[in-house]
Amino acid sequence: MGLFGSSKDKKKAEKPAGEITLGGTTYTISRTVDCIGDSCPRPQLMTKKALNEAAPGDVIEVLVDNPSSTEAIPPMMNDLGASHLETIKAERCWEIYVQKD
Protein backbone atom coordinates (compact mmCIF):
# COMPACT_ATOMS: atom_id res chain seq x y z
CA MET A 1 0.00 0.00 0.00
CA GLY A 2 2.09 2.85 -1.07
CA LEU A 3 1.04 5.02 -3.94
CA PHE A 4 -2.28 6.33 -2.73
CA GLY A 5 -2.15 5.58 1.00
CA SER A 6 -3.33 7.93 3.70
CA SER A 7 0.15 8.51 5.14
CA LYS A 8 0.79 11.15 2.49
CA ASP A 9 -2.48 12.89 3.35
CA LYS A 10 -1.65 12.88 7.06
CA LYS A 11 1.82 14.25 6.40
CA LYS A 12 0.35 17.04 4.29
CA ALA A 13 -2.41 17.79 6.74
CA GLU A 14 -0.48 18.08 9.99
CA LYS A 15 3.02 19.26 10.82
CA PRO A 16 4.70 20.86 13.81
CA ALA A 17 5.00 24.62 13.66
CA GLY A 18 6.77 27.56 15.30
CA GLU A 19 5.54 30.74 16.91
CA ILE A 20 3.11 33.53 16.05
CA THR A 21 2.50 36.92 17.63
CA LEU A 22 -1.16 37.91 17.78
CA GLY A 23 -2.26 41.12 19.46
CA GLY A 24 1.10 41.57 21.16
CA THR A 25 1.13 38.06 22.66
CA THR A 26 3.48 35.40 21.31
CA TYR A 27 2.05 31.89 21.08
CA THR A 28 3.83 28.63 20.36
CA ILE A 29 1.97 26.79 17.63
CA SER A 30 1.68 23.18 18.66
CA ARG A 31 0.18 21.97 15.40
CA THR A 32 -0.57 23.14 11.89
CA VAL A 33 -3.50 21.65 10.00
CA ASP A 34 -3.06 22.18 6.25
CA CYS A 35 -6.46 22.17 4.56
CA ILE A 36 -5.39 24.02 1.42
CA GLY A 37 -7.31 22.61 -1.50
CA ASP A 38 -9.95 21.04 0.75
CA SER A 39 -13.57 22.12 0.72
CA CYS A 40 -16.20 22.00 3.45
CA PRO A 41 -16.63 20.08 5.63
CA ARG A 42 -13.06 18.69 5.67
CA PRO A 43 -11.40 21.81 7.20
CA GLN A 44 -13.98 21.84 9.99
CA LEU A 45 -13.55 18.11 10.66
CA MET A 46 -9.75 18.35 10.66
CA THR A 47 -9.91 21.32 13.05
CA LYS A 48 -12.24 19.41 15.36
CA LYS A 49 -9.93 16.37 15.32
CA ALA A 50 -6.86 18.49 16.08
CA LEU A 51 -8.63 20.22 19.00
CA ASN A 52 -9.82 16.89 20.40
CA GLU A 53 -6.21 15.69 20.46
CA ALA A 54 -4.82 18.97 21.83
CA ALA A 55 -3.95 19.73 25.44
CA PRO A 56 -5.43 22.79 27.18
CA GLY A 57 -3.56 25.91 26.06
CA ASP A 58 -2.36 24.40 22.76
CA VAL A 59 -2.56 26.73 19.77
CA ILE A 60 -3.48 25.24 16.40
CA GLU A 61 -2.91 26.94 13.07
CA VAL A 62 -5.42 25.97 10.38
CA LEU A 63 -4.55 26.85 6.77
CA VAL A 64 -7.52 27.14 4.41
CA ASP A 65 -8.08 28.56 0.96
CA ASN A 66 -11.81 28.03 0.99
CA PRO A 67 -13.63 31.26 1.99
CA SER A 68 -16.58 29.39 3.51
CA SER A 69 -14.21 27.67 5.96
CA THR A 70 -13.00 31.04 7.25
CA GLU A 71 -16.61 31.78 8.14
CA ALA A 72 -17.47 28.32 9.50
CA ILE A 73 -14.51 27.53 11.78
CA PRO A 74 -14.58 30.45 14.30
CA PRO A 75 -18.23 29.89 15.39
CA MET A 76 -17.43 26.21 16.10
CA MET A 77 -15.02 27.09 18.90
CA ASN A 78 -17.58 27.43 21.72
CA ASP A 79 -18.88 23.91 21.08
CA LEU A 80 -15.34 22.49 20.95
CA GLY A 81 -14.02 24.05 24.16
CA ALA A 82 -11.69 26.38 22.31
CA SER A 83 -11.20 30.03 21.42
CA HIS A 84 -10.70 31.71 18.06
CA LEU A 85 -7.60 33.88 18.42
CA GLU A 86 -7.37 35.43 14.96
CA THR A 87 -7.76 34.88 11.23
CA ILE A 88 -5.06 36.34 8.99
CA LYS A 89 -5.19 36.62 5.19
CA ALA A 90 -1.86 35.36 3.88
CA GLU A 91 -0.59 35.33 0.31
CA ARG A 92 -2.20 32.08 -0.79
CA CYS A 93 -4.57 31.22 2.07
CA TRP A 94 -6.10 32.24 5.36
CA GLU A 95 -4.37 31.31 8.60
CA ILE A 96 -6.87 30.62 11.38
CA TYR A 97 -5.46 30.45 14.91
CA VAL A 98 -7.44 28.64 17.60
CA GLN A 99 -6.56 27.73 21.18
CA LYS A 100 -7.86 24.82 23.25
CA ASP A 101 -9.41 26.12 26.50
Q: What is the pLDDT along the chain (101 residues), one digit of tens a residue?
A: 444 444 444 444 444 459 999 999 999 999 999 999 999 999 999 999 999 999 999 999 999 999 999 999 999 999 999 999 999 999 999 999 999 99
Residue 1 inside a domain? The answer is: no
Is 35 designated active site? Answer: no
Residue 95 inside a domain? The answer is: yes
Write the CA distances from 22 to 3, 32, 77, 86, 98, integer angstroms.
Answer: 39, 16, 18, 7, 11
As for how many domains the chain has, the answer is 1
Q: How many CB atoms lie within 10 A of CB 73?
A: 24
Residue 94 inside a domain? The answer is: yes
Residue 90 inside a domain? The answer is: yes
Tell me the whole-structure pTM to 2 decimals: 0.83
Domain around 64: 6-100
Q: For position 16, which CATH number holds?
A: 3.30.110.40
Residue 55 inside a domain? The answer is: yes
Residue 36 inside a domain? The answer is: yes
From the candidates 17, 29, 36, 40, give the one annotated as an active-site residue: 40
Residue 67 inside a domain? The answer is: yes
